[in-house]
Amino acid sequence: MSTDIRQADDLPWYHTITAMIVAGCLVAIVNFGVRSTFGFFTVPVSEAHGWGREVFSFAMAMQNLIWGLATPLAGMLADRYGSARVLMTGAAIYCIGMLMMAYTSSAPMFNLGGGVLVGIGIAFSSFSIVMAALGRIVPPERRSWAFGIATASGSLGQFIFAPLGAMLVSAYGWQQALVILASLSLLIILFAAPLMKQNTSGSRPTPGEADLTMKAAIGLAFGHRSYILLVSGFFVCGFQLAFITVHMPAYLAEHGISKEFAGIAMGLIGLFNVAGSYVSGIIGGRGEKRVPLAFIYLIRAGLTAAFVLLPVTPVTTLLFTCSMGLLWLSTVPLTMGLVTVMFGTRYMATLYGFVFVSHQIGSFLGVWLAGRLYDQFGSYDIVWWLSVALGVFAFLVNLPIREQRAQRFATA
């Protein structure tokens, strides 16, 4: 990319590196924060419409799947036309989808709004698009740190919005709460404006990277063994996080934990992952990425097993959410870092987007399967133990990843 973004001293303040990093972080806060509130709507929306939990769960599962499927498209558009335009478009779609959730009483329309439109909106305004912009702005030696900062911001959004969402539902009812949150999602348009400076730089090769077309880059990536292993492991991350995000408040309510306390507990996941994601970014910049990534999955499996085996109390709930929070999105800087190591920055958003499809297929199954099995057995136990087994699987598939530039992606 052109060096003027990094070096020019006469740029207006809103086009400096610092301002663009802050802008990207604010986008991530709103995008991930609003989404983190949806678990608090499971019970009130289902009761208001006389639905079983599977209906709401299916809409949220569809949202996660569409989010994943739309992410490569969002990445391609960001790599070609710049992140800011994609982020702004996503914010508008995000808002429209949430308004449909608030005002429809039809299950198919709820699926269209909360599932399809919100899924597209999240994909187009997500922190993966932000990280692609930052990856081109920030020098290589600071890139992993920038990924950690962006991911930590998403976690901070969860810390801010999860308790806020619970309070809005309690104070104004679920419908008005959705309208307020939809309005807040439009802040992304304002926050994305400084990133207009970083537009089509991704359409040119970066020094040290091969001059490949996007089609060739995608084909070569899917023929790369380490990329397939990374894709396979990230499926597990989506399954675990989406299941907890959507079903944890209801699970806690069944064990006598209040909605307000559940909101605090879910918010603490975001707060602790601010530290977890930041540290993950630093670790990824100093040494191997595959080993800490693998152990994150293994530790998650152990924490989940302990939580299921112990009585559900306020103390065990806080211990679980705080510990899981340290590992919540700490996979993202390491995963994005591995994509960059293997394939460079030119098609970073696109290739990470395909990794994220796997993540969101896992999210779809984690959310929908939990709702389906709960309606059938009246318990989440099967899904908790499946999450443990998948954590061990992810540990095993990430260890053999090779951390080096794929041969066809490096210049001679």
Taking the CA atoms of the chain, what radius of gyration do you get in angstroms? 20
Q: N- to C-terminal Cα distance for the chain?
A: 20
The stretch 174-187 carries a mean pLDDT of 95
Q: Which residue has the higher pLDDT, 365 or 344?
A: 365
Q: Which residue has the higher pLDDT, 258 or 145?
A: 258
The stretch 330-353 carries a mean pLDDT of 86
**pLDDT at 15 (0 to 100):** 61
Query: Which parts of 244-332 are beta strand (E)?
Result: none
Tokens of 131: 């990280």
The stretch 90-101 carries a mean pLDDT of 96
pLDDT tens for 1-38 read 333 344 444 556 566 777 888 888 899 899 989 988 88
In the chain, DSSP finds a helix count (H) and a strand count (E) of: 18, 0
The stretch 325-344 carries a mean pLDDT of 89
**What is the pLDDT confidence band of residue 186, given thresholds at 50, 70 and 90?**
very high
The torsion angles phi and psi of 199, rounded to 5 degrees, stand at: -115, -90
pLDDT at residue 379 is higher than 60: yes
**pLDDT at 3 (0 to 100):** 37
Q: For residue 232, give the nearest of 297, 302, 292, 300 by alpha carbon.
A: 297
Residue 139 has what DSSP assignment? -
pLDDT at residue 310 is higher than 70: yes
Q: Which residue has the tokens 């799947």?
A: 65
Q: Which range among 44-53, 173-182, 193-202 shows the weakest confidence by mean pLDDT?
A: 193-202
How far CA 216 is from CA of 69, 249, 351, 375, in Å, comes to 20, 44, 12, 45
The stretch 384-410 carries a mean pLDDT of 91
The torsion angles phi and psi of 269, rounded to 5 degrees, stand at: -55, -45
